[in-house]
Chains A and B, each alone.
Chain A
Amino acid sequence: MSDQLEILLESNSGIAQAELLAGRLEEAFQKSIPIIIDGSAITRVDTSVLQLLYSFCAAMKETGVSVSWKEPSDELCQAADNLGVKTLLGLPF
């Protein structure tokens, strides 16, 4: 069993994909291992997914397990900034 898990976010991460992503994030949360979220492919993201990511990051932080980002796309960073959650998600400036 590896000591960390990578989650790749889809290019189009909108409300239609939110339920599936929620399942994957919850599964990852249950594993209690450090998570790397690959946001490099994201070209479109909406409030539902950003809220979900925040919910995940906050829960992970509470349990003391690390979450890090891998090459978050500009679109992802910009959207998080526009929604006021960029800092909360730990995305780079």
Chain B
Amino acid sequence: MGIDLSQFHQVFFEESYEGLDVMESALLNLQPDTVDSETINEIFRAAHSIKGGSGTFGFIDVADFTHVIETLLDEIRSGTRKITSETVDLFLQSVDCIRKLIQQHDAGEPCVIPEAVELKKVFEGILSGGDSENESVSSPEPASTITEIDDQTGDGSQADSPLTHGWKIYFKPELDILKTGNDPLRMFRELASLGALSITADISQVPPIGSIDPEACYMAWELELDADVSKSAVDEVFEWVVDESELRIEPLGSDDAVSDVKPEVLVETAIEEITLAPTASTPEVVVQPEEMTSKPKKDASKVEVSSIRVGIDKVDDLINMVGELVITQSMLGELGLDFTMDSLPRLLEGIEQLSQNTRELQESVMRIRMLPISFTFSRFPRLVHDLSRTMNKKIELKLTGEQTELDKTVMEKIGDPLVHLVRNSLDHGIEMPEDRVKAGKPETGTITLNAFHQSGNIVIQIIDDGAGLNKPRILQKAIEKELVSENDNLSDDQIHDLIFKPGFSTADQVSDISGRGVGMDVVRRNINELNGSVEVESTEGQGSVFTIRLPLTLAILDGQLIRVGDKVYILPLISIVESIQSFQGMLHRVVGGCDLLRLRDEYVPIIKLSSIFNIKSTTQEMEDGLLVVVEGDNMKVAILIDDLEAQQQVVIKSLEENYKRVDGVSGATILGNGTVSLILDIPGLIKLAGVQRYEYKMANNDDDRAA
């Protein structure tokens, strides 16, 4: 019975995306002048794994395309071909093509990518036209011991010549090869099917019975295949073990190559030049969503299935937690069987234990969703590399805090806004090299991406040492677009903040980099939708800092339950600044506007939830209620409520998915008593209440007006 390989497709796609990221990152690190063999090997291994996997799963277009790249990489790593910066660019383009091909397979769409066809032709042209033999001969410095063997054969052409009369193979697998399901016997049978095969086993390393590990492989083999087959046909036989063995394939007749070299010598040379780091053997497990296994008949190729790689330590923690939970549950179960009032203290203790276990379990589960932000940051070296070339700018990208962890969902949603901000810094921030030199700055500009945790949030900064925001120009544009009036007295922060207004752009020309119809207002809106905020600080001539603050997770919220009338709402605890019970004398009624609370030296608009949601409050007078001062959208407001209730963690349920979007409400949750409670969205409430940001700012800049 055949195995349904489609069940492994998703894992293959994910591993391929990771492999492509590895390739891209290694290519960006590659210096054509000083080729590092380890980097080339890293790129080769990634390409090789993608080729092998795609061939196995029947994605022939991916396998064919990757095969050409792999062949070229093989020549480069064996020293028979030089690498140039043009080749690096071609490889980078090929990474994009492979990614597109895989994405289309992932989406279940037909794969026709013209650039892949063209690029493949270019690579084939290089392989057939670029005379690697001559290059090898003329190569002044053979890069590795493999090259030495090539030189000894005198032709170095086994990779190029499609057919050679026979192959000489030296194969010494690693000890664990049998445990991974790879059986040399099966491979040799396959080779024998290609032509006459003579086999000499090297049994010198086999221990005597009694000290042998029955599942280890101690043998090595020298094989001679007398058949007119291409090297790739032989390569294919060893495809799955190439990373777990020492393998030499030479044309028959190249007497110096394999048989005359003692196996011991080969072992030494191979250890030196082949790094057999297994590509995907890190102790990780792939946690697949339950749907994948429980609904096998569903058209999996059409469904967007997401999975996450989780460190085994996190899964172990989870198992420990569940173990604790089971123990507590059985203790409570036993108590319940024979309960008397004397058992009450033990019952209470058990419930307390249960509560602690649940919380720990919840924290462990949440940790599973946390991924280092390097997953998002990793796309930027390529972006900066490409864009700086397009714009003829010299830019260095620095990444710090890449290990800062963030919920996967938040991470997926923050990618695009970050890309926009980085492109913006590249385009508008960093000056042309000559302008930088004139300004007394280094020719190369720097963009820094920084991430860190702060007060339960993740903070991501995009820092550039460019020209900074041009305040007069921003102000002029804002006046032209009637976003502000000429008489408005705006602070520096307020002027900088104007770039986040809808329809605002100071770019005189629409370029490829910016002015693509997605403004900074969309960036702010997207970030606000994640319950986050974005701010900019800028010093003219010195650069700008964009600071994004985001919650660590979107799934669970630390909430404060509040009551208005008979309704209970939830305020995100993180947004609460303080609550005030007695505020007589602090109120300032404004005719035609909202009431203000004088909070120390600032004025805070008061929002009445009962008015906004049209519910009957239990307090007759404003002074009888409570004011909760909250912060959202970079401003403070005081929300008038009837009472504060408990604080608790709540699981956020999407209102949009289960009902529809409601202004002023970011989601819902189910409380302990089974009732549904709405989670308030502070920026939304501010908007609903009609509190204007500039009025707020001006109220705080101008005491007289507020009073």
Contact = CB atoms under 8 A, between A and B. Distances in A.
B184 A83 contact: yes
Contacts of A82: 185, 188-189, 192, 199
Contact of A55 (B183, B189, B212): B212
A48 B210 contact: no
Interface residues of B, number: 25
B188 A22 contact: no
Contacts of A84: 188, 199-201, 221
A58 B188 contact: no
Interface string B192-216: 1000000111010011111010110
A51 B219 contact: yes
A29 interface: yes
Interface string A48-76: 10111011101100100000000000000
B214 A85 contact: no
A83 B201 CA distance: 7
A15 interface: yes
A77 interface: no
A32 interface: no
Contact of A62 (B188, B192, B208, B219): B208
Given A22-B209, A22-B214, A54-B203, A46 B221 contact: no
B214 to A, nearest CB: 4
B210 A59 contact: yes
Interface in A23-62: 25-26, 29, 46-48, 50-52, 54-56, 58-59, 62
B54 to A, nearest CB: 28
A88 interface: yes
Interface in B398-423: none
A55 B208 contact: yes
B217 interface: yes
Given A82-B192, A84-B221, A47 B178 contact: yes
A47 B218 CA distance: 10
Nearest to A46: B183
Given A18-B214, A47-B178, A48-B178, A83 B188 contact: yes
Contacts of A88: 201, 203
B225 to A, nearest CB: 13
A9 interface: no
B212 A52 contact: yes
B221 A50 contact: no
A81 B178 CA distance: 19
Interface string B166-178: 0000000000001
A15 B212 contact: no
A33 B199 CA distance: 32
A6 interface: no
Contacts of A48: 178, 214-215, 217
B206 A51 contact: yes
A25 B209 contact: yes
Contacts of A50: 185
B217 A47 contact: yes
A23 B563 CA distance: 74
A15 B201 contact: no
A84 B210 CA distance: 23
Interface in B226-249: none
A55 B199 CA distance: 19
A22 B183 contact: no
A19 B212 CA distance: 10
B212 A22 contact: yes
A58 B203 contact: yes
B188 A26 contact: no
Contacts of A56: 209
B209 A26 contact: yes
A84 B207 CA distance: 17
Contacts of B214: 15, 18-19, 21-22, 48, 52
Interface string B95-111: 00000000000000000
8 tightest Cβ-Cβ pairs between the two chains A and B? A84-B199, A84-B201, A18-B214, A22-B214, A59-B208, A56-B209, A59-B209, A47-B185
29 contacts: A15-B178, A18-B215, A22-B212, A26-B209, A29-B209, A29-B210, A46-B178, A47-B184, A47-B217, A48-B215, A50-B185, A51-B206, A51-B219, A52-B209, A52-B214, A54-B203, A55-B206, A55-B207, A55-B208, A58-B206, A59-B208, A62-B208, A82-B192, A83-B188, A83-B199, A83-B219, A84-B199, A85-B201, A88-B203
Interface of B: 178-179, 183-186, 188-189, 192, 199-201, 203, 206-210, 212, 214-215, 217-219, 221
Given A79-B185, A83-B185, 14 more contacts: A15-B214, A46-B178, A47-B217, A50-B185, A51-B218, A52-B209, A55-B207, A55-B208, A58-B206, A58-B208, A59-B209, A83-B199, A83-B221, A84-B200
